[in-house]
Amino acid sequence: MALKTQKCLECEKEFGFGEWACAATGANHVVEAKSYFMDDAPTVQHREGNVMVTDKHSTTTVLNIPPERQIKVGNDVQRTPGGAVTFVRGRYDTADPEIQFYLDRKPGLCTKARWEAVYFSETEKQEMKRMELDARERRLEMQEGSLLAKVQKQAQKGA
29 exposed, middle or buried (CB, 10 Å; 0-12, 13-18, 19+)?
buried
Q: What is the mean pLDDT of the chain?
A: 87
Q: pLDDT band for position 32 (50/70/90)?
A: very high
The torsion defined by the Cα of 140, 146, 150 and 156, in degrees rounded to 10, comes to 120
pLDDT reading at 3 higher than 80: no
- What's residue 91's pLDDT? 94
Q: How large is the average pLDDT for residues 25-44?
A: 87
Alpha-carbon gap, residue 102 to 98, rounded angstroms: 7
- What's residue 127's pLDDT? 92
